[in-house]
Amino acid sequence: MPRPRTHDPQAVLDAAENLAARSGPAAVTVRAVATATGISNGALYHSFGSRREVLARTWLRAAHRFLALQSSAVTAALTATDPDTRIAAVVDAADTPARLAEHHPDSARLLLLVDRTDLLTGDLPPELAREIAATDKALLSVLTRLARALWGRADRRGVATVTACLVDLPTALLLRRDRLTDPLARTHLRAAVRAVLELGPH
């Protein structure tokens, strides 16, 4: 009888992410992850508590990867001194899903397939639920600060315009149409984001 592999939490998250990316979130079960990793069901339950916690921690890792990758472009936009450089940096930030797919394709697909709010509807350890909710606050903070940097305003229209650029357009052009690796789709995205930014929230 083969011995189970050493329990590696990252291997568990890798397996869960791959299952979700290939077959949808429902495919992430303790049994399926155990089979993929060679870790026993009991060991998984001991470390993660439940199937929902496995999925939540997998989503959280993907979200952290996304935010870390986007941060350099956001910082460039916030620190730029001229409008053209700010716009170019926000265009780069909008391209983050495609850049994430270059390094972590399953992470990019997971963020499309699993809605953050769905993760918070079940029983999760309070600290994990707070950490997931914090990602939403971090994104809102980025959107607000960018709106203020671009147009000197962080009202509803300003934030909605930046949201269209960093959330709505990438989701529509890259994620929902499964064109994360399509160079033409990325060109379309950059052109669309630049057009929206130049029009602004007026």
- pTM reported for the whole predicted model: 0.86
Which DSSP state fits 114? Answer: S
Mean pLDDT of 174-190: 90
pLDDT in tens, 33-78: 999 999 998 988 888 888 999 999 999 999 999 999 999 999 999 9
Token couple for 156: 């509803």
| Contact indicator for 28, 51 with CB cutoff of 8 Å | yes
pLDDT for 81: 92
Kindly state the average pLDDT of the residues 98-109. Answer: 93
Q: CA angle, 109 as apex, 105 and 115 as ends, to 5°?
A: 150
pLDDT at 190 > cutoff 80: yes
Q: Which of 108, 106, 6, 131 is nearest to 56 (CA)?
A: 131
| DSSP SS3 for 39 | coil
Average pLDDT over residues 111-126: 81
d(CA 108, CA 117): 17
